[in-house]
Amino acid sequence: MIPPAFTYKRATSVDEALSLAAEIGEDAKYLAGGHSLLPLMKLRFATPEALIDIARITELSYITDKGDHVAVGALTRHHDVAGSELLKNEIPLLAHTAGEIGDPQIRHRGTIGGSVAHGDSASDLPASLLVLEATFVIRGPQGTRSVPAAEFFKGIFETALEPGELLTEIQVPKPASPNAWSFQKFTKRAIDWAMVGVAVQDQKVALINMGPVPLRAAAVESALASGASAADAAARAAEGASASSDIHASAAYREHLARVLTARALTEAASRG
Amino acid sequence: MSILGTRVIRTEDPRLLTAGGVYVDDLREPELDGAVRATFVRSTVAHAKITSIDTSEAESQPGVVAVLTAKDMTDVPPPPPVDEDAPPAPGPVPLAGKWQEPVLAIDTVRYVGEPVAIVLTDSTYQGEDAAELVAVDYDILPAVPSIEAALKDESLLFPAAGTNTAITGGGDVSDDSIFDGCDVVVEGDVINQRVAALPMEGRATAAAWNDGKLTVWISTQNAQISRLILTALGLAPEQIRVVAPDVGGGFGAKIGTDRDTVAVAWAAKHTGRPVRWVESRYENLVGMTQGRAQLHHVKIGGTRDGKVKAYRLEVIQDSGGYSRMGFFLPMLTNLMAPAVYDFPNVQANYKVVVTNGTPIAAYRGAGRPEATATVERALDWFAAEAGMDPAEVRRINFIKKEQFPFMTKTGAHYDTGDYETAMDQVLEAAGYAELRAEQKARRERGDVKQLGLGLASYVEITAPDPDAGETGRVDVHEDGTATVYTGSSAHGQGHHTAFAMLVTELLGIPMDKVEVIHGDTDLIPEGIGTYGSRSLQLGGSAVHNASLEVKDQAAKLAASLFEASEADVVLDTATGKWQIAGDPDKSLGWGQIAASAEGKTLTANVNFTADKSTFPFGTQLSVVEVDTETGKVTLLRHVTADDAGPVVNPILIDGQRHGGIAQGAAQALCEEVLYDADGNPLTSTLADYAAITAAELPSFELLRSETPTDRNPLGVKGIGEAGTIGATPAVQNAVIDAVAHLGVRHIDMPTTPERVWTAINDAQKGSGK
Amino acid sequence: MKVDLTVNGKNVTADVEDRTLLVHFLRDVADLTATNIGCETTSCGACTVLMDGESVKSCTVLAAQADGREVTTLEGLKGADGGMHPVQKAFHEEHGLQCGYCTPGMVMAIASLIKENPSPTEAEVRSGLEGNLCRCTGYHNIVKAALSAAEASK
CATH number at residue A199: 3.30.390.50
Q: How far is CA B104 from CA A210, B218, B278, B336, in A?
A: 44, 18, 17, 36
Question: Residue B261: beta bridge partners?
Answer: none
Of A33-42, B147-156, B729-738, least confident by mean pLDDT is A33-42
Q: Which of B29, B563, B97 is nearest to B326 (CA)?
A: B97
pLDDT recorded at residue B255:
96
Write out residues in chain C with pLDDT < 50, as ranges: none
pLDDT recorded at residue B766:
73
CB B605 within 8 Å of CB B546: yes
**Mean predicted confidence (pLDDT) in B340-345:** 98
Specify the CATH class of B1-30+203-278 in words: alpha beta
The CATH number of the structural domain formed by B466-608 is 3.30.365.10
Q: Is the pLDDT of residue B769 over 60?
A: no
Q: Which of B218, B254, B215, B219 is nearest to B233 (CA)?
A: B215
**Mean predicted confidence (pLDDT) in B427-431:** 98
For A116, counting Cβ atoms within 10 Å of its Cβ (0-12 exposed, 13-18 middle, 19+ buried), the class is: buried
The answer to whether the Cβ–Cβ distance between C136 and B14 falls below 8 Å is no
pLDDT: is B581 or B237 the higher one?
Answer: B237
- Other CB atoms within a 10 A radius of the CB of residue A148 amount to 13
Q: Which of B188, B28, B48 is nearest to B109 (CA)?
A: B48
| Per-residue pLDDT tens over the stretch B310-325 | 999 999 999 999 999 9
pLDDT recorded at residue C142:
98
Q: Is the pLDDT of residue B582 over 90?
A: no
| Per-residue pLDDT tens over the stretch B397-407 | 999 999 999 99
User: Do residue A63 and residue A31 come from a single domain?
Assistant: no
The answer to whether the Cβ–Cβ distance between C61 and A34 falls below 8 Å is yes
**Mean predicted confidence (pLDDT) in B483-495:** 96
CB A194 within 8 Å of CB A205: no
d(CA C6, CA B526): 47
**Mean predicted confidence (pLDDT) in B459-469:** 95
The CATH number of the structural domain formed by C86-152 is 1.10.150.120
- CATH number of the CATH domain containing A17: 3.30.43.10
User: Do residue A40 and residue A133 come from a single domain?
Assistant: no
Which residues of C fall within a CB distance of 8 Å from A103? 45, 128, 130-132
User: Do residue A116 and residue A64 come from a single domain?
Assistant: yes
Q: Where in chain B is the domain with CATH 3.30.365.10?
A: 1-30+203-278, 290-462+613-764, 466-608
Instruction: Specify the fold of B290-462+613-764.
Output: Aldehyde Oxidoreductase; domain 4 (3.30.365)
pLDDT recorded at residue B86:
80
Series of mean pLDDT values for 10-residue runs along chain A (273 residues)? 95 96 92 92 92 96 98 98 98 98 97 95 96 98 95 93 95 97 97 97 97 95 96 96 95 98 97 89
The CATH number of the structural domain formed by B34-141 is 3.90.1170.50
**What confidence tier does B463 reach under pLDDT thresholds 50, 70, 90?**
very high
The whole domain housing A234 covers 181-272
User: Do residue A46 and residue A80 come from a single domain?
Assistant: no
From C41, C51, C62, residue closest to A34, measured CB to CB = C62
Q: How far is C68 from chain B (nearest CA, A)?
A: 24
- Other CB atoms within a 10 A radius of the CB of residue B389 amount to 15
Q: Is the pLDDT of residue B489 over 60?
A: yes
User: Do residue A149 and residue A201 come from a single domain?
Assistant: no
Chains that touch C (3 or more CB pairs under 8 A): A, B
User: Do residue A120 and residue A32 come from a single domain?
Assistant: no
CB B337 within 8 Å of CB B190: no
For B184, list phi and psi in degrees, rounded to 5: -125, 115
Count how many domains chain A has.
3
| Per-residue pLDDT tens over the stretch B583-632 | 888 899 999 999 999 999 999 999 999 999 999 999 999 999 999 999 99
Q: Which of A12, A105, A115 to mutate to test the interface with C (most CBs of C within 10 A)?
A: A105
Taken in order B219, B223, B228, B231, the sign of the CA dihedral is: positive
Which residues of A fall within a CB distance of 8 Å from B687? 39, 193
Q: How far is C18 from chain A (nearest CA, A)?
A: 6
Domain boundaries, chain C: 2-76, 86-152
Q: Is residue A202 part of a domain?
A: yes
d(CA A81, CA A111): 9
The answer to whether the Cβ–Cβ distance between C136 and B10 falls below 8 Å is no
From C17, C55, C116, residue closest to A5, measured CB to CB = C17
- Mutual orientation of helices B328-335 and B368-386 as an angle, nearest 10°? 40
pLDDT: is B79 or B87 the higher one?
Answer: B79
Which residues of A fall within a CB distance of 8 Å from C24? 2
B695 interfacial to chain A (CB closer than 8 Å):
yes
CB A234 within 8 Å of CB A223: no
d(CA B612, CA A51): 63
User: Do residue A34 and residue A65 come from a single domain?
Assistant: no
Q: Where in chain B is the domain with CATH 3.90.1170.50?
A: 34-141
Q: Give this prediction's pTM.
A: 0.97
Q: How far is A189 from chain B (nearest CA, A)?
A: 7
B132 interfacial to chain A (CB closer than 8 Å):
yes
Chains that touch B (3 or more CB pairs under 8 A): A, C
Q: How far is CA B439 from CA A209, B71, B452, in A?
A: 34, 65, 7
Give kind and range of the element (H or E) at residue B757. helix B753-764
Q: Is the pLDDT of residue B660 over 50?
A: yes
CB B429 within 8 Å of CB B353: no
CATH architecture, domain defined by C2-76 = Roll (3.10)
| Per-residue pLDDT tens over the stretch B503-562 | 999 999 999 999 999 999 999 999 999 999 999 999 999 999 999 999 999 999 999 999
Q: In what order do the strands lie in the sheet with B48-54?
A: B108-109, B48-54, B135-140
Q: Which of C68, C100, C106 is nearest to C85 (CA)?
A: C106
CA-nearest residue to C132 within chain B is: B693
B257: which residues sit within 8 A by CB, 6+ positions away?
A: B205, B218, B220, B222, B225, B226, B229, B230
Question: Residue B215: beta bridge partners?
Answer: B208, B241
Taken in order A85, A87, A91, A93, the sign of the CA dihedral is: negative
| Per-residue pLDDT tens over the stretch C55-92 | 999 999 999 999 999 999 999 999 999 999 999 999 99
Q: Is the pLDDT of residue B768 over 60?
A: no
Map residue B739 onto helix, strand or coil: helix
pLDDT recorded at residue B179:
98
Give the 3-state secondary structure percentages of chain C, helix then strand then coil, rounded to 5.
40, 15, 45
- CATH number of the CATH domain containing A97: 3.30.465.10
d(CA C64, CA A53): 9
Q: Is residue A2 part of a domain?
A: no
A197: which residues sit within 8 A by CB, 6+ positions away?
A: A124, A127, A183, A184, A185, A186, A207, A208, A209, A261
For B421, counting Cβ atoms within 10 Å of its Cβ (0-12 exposed, 13-18 middle, 19+ buried), the class is: middle
User: Do residue A40 and residue A91 come from a single domain?
Assistant: no
The type of residue at C104 is P
CB B129 within 8 Å of CB B58: no
Q: Which of B122, B105, B119, B136 is nearest to B59 (CA)?
A: B119
| Per-residue pLDDT tens over the stretch A185-214 | 999 999 999 999 999 999 999 999 999 999
A109 interfacial to chain B (CB closer than 8 Å):
no
d(CA B191, CA B213): 47
From C93, C102, C138, residue closest to B700, measured CB to CB = C138
